[in-house]
Amino acid sequence: MSITDASNAGPPLSVRLRSQLGGYGFLLPWLLGFVVLTLGPAVSSFYLSLTDFGLMGPANWVGAENYVRIASDDPRFWTAMRVTFTFVLLSVPLKLMFALAIAVALNKGLRGLTVFRAIFYLPSLVGGSVAIAVLWRQVFAGDGVLNQVLAALFGYEGPSWISNPSTSLYTLVLLAAWQFGSSMIIFLAGLRQIPQDMYEAASIDGASRSRQFFKITLPLLTPVIFFNAVILTIDAFKAFTSAFVVSDGSGGPIDTTLFYTLYLYQEAFTNFRFGYASALAWVLVVIIAIFTALSFMSAKYWVHYDD
């Protein structure tokens, strides 16, 4: 790309030298940050994961013991995995579907597009905050808004959705799905890039609207769907605040909202098992890496790239 072509013109040597020095000069803050805050800690957290480091005394080398214990002797790890995977596998498709459906509806040249777009985007912007998690607790509480509405409309006395173990996780899935707005905006931008003459040609050939959607819109949008799916999945694995606030940091009721990151937090900062928590962190990194790699490998079977 543009990396080499500028030097072909042959600016004077002094300019090139200044550029070399200037390059590292301008990169210096990032470079320092990378080495001290990312690379160093990454290496050292891997080392810590092979020790029993905690509040008690120095770190003793234990080899792969932490990892063995995670896999074979830690029921809460498996609970956290189940909760997190349920959350990821439900919230990501829901978000994608809502985002795509609304984007397609908004793309029909409606008046008031900007107003609707703003309304649908707002929850994404505020949804990660503590305030909204607090609100969610209230909406789905026993005497909460949802039950009030249900009682007023259908005379149905609902349970406390938050403190009921069989529904608590799904309230958090709903909270995540509510925040489909930013994906919707990316879909809208993608829809705008589809050449209109394709639709015109298809209409002339007599293709119905739904056929146009499945034969033109959807295939041409697969790169955007893929992109959104990868980003949303990574984000969903890292979800934390909503579960923490809704469950008072416990992951309850009875660990049904024990997100992986919440378990990691508890091990590191309430139990101070830094070695074990480091191992948990690396397991999460590997899971996310595997998920991302699988997505990229699957892409060639369903993502449509035109060259």
Name the residue nearer to another protein (CB basis): 90 or 303: 303
Write the DSSP assignment of the chain as a string of letters.
-HHHHHHHT---HHHHHHHHHHHHHHHHHHHHHIIIIIIHHHHHHHHHTTB--SSSSSPPB-TTHHHHHHHHS-HHHHHHHHHHHHHHHHHHHHHHHHHHHHHHHHTTT-TTHHHHHHHHHHHHHHTTSHHHHHHHHHHTSTTSHHHHHHHHHH------TTT-TTTHHHHHHHHHHHT-HHHHHHHHHHHHTS-HHHHHHHHHTT--HHHHIIIIIHHHHHHHHHHHHHHHHHHHHT--HHHHHHTTTTT-STTTT--HHHHHHIIIIIS--HHHHHHHHHHHHHHHHHHHHHHHHHHHHH-----
Name the residue nearer to another protein (CB basis): 90 or 106: 106
Name the residue nearer to another protein (CB basis): 81 or 185: 185
In whole angstroms, the minimum distance from the beta carbon of 155 to another protein comes to 14
In whole angstroms, the minimum distance from the beta carbon of 270 to another protein comes to 11
Name the residue nearer to another protein (CB basis): 48 or 50: 48
In whole angstroms, the minimum distance from the beta carbon of 17 to another protein comes to 10
With vertex at residue 234, the alpha carbon angle to CA 261 and CA 98, rounded to the nearest 5 degrees, is 110
Evaluated on CA atoms 110, 205, 219, 209, the torsion sign reads positive
Q: CA-CA distance, 129 to 139, in Å (whole number)?
A: 15
- Provide the β-strand partners of residue 51: 61
Name the residue nearer to another protein (CB basis): 3 or 297: 3
In whole angstroms, the minimum distance from the beta carbon of 205 to another protein comes to 15
Name the residue nearer to another protein (CB basis): 73 or 306: 306
In whole angstroms, the minimum distance from the beta carbon of 182 to another protein comes to 5
In whole angstroms, the minimum distance from the beta carbon of 178 to another protein comes to 7
Name the residue nearer to another protein (CB basis): 48 or 90: 48
In whole angstroms, the minimum distance from the beta carbon of 76 to another protein comes to 17
Residue pair 168/250 in contact (Cβ under 8 Å)? The answer is no
Name the residue nearer to another protein (CB basis): 22 or 93: 22
In whole angstroms, the minimum distance from the beta carbon of 121 to another protein comes to 7
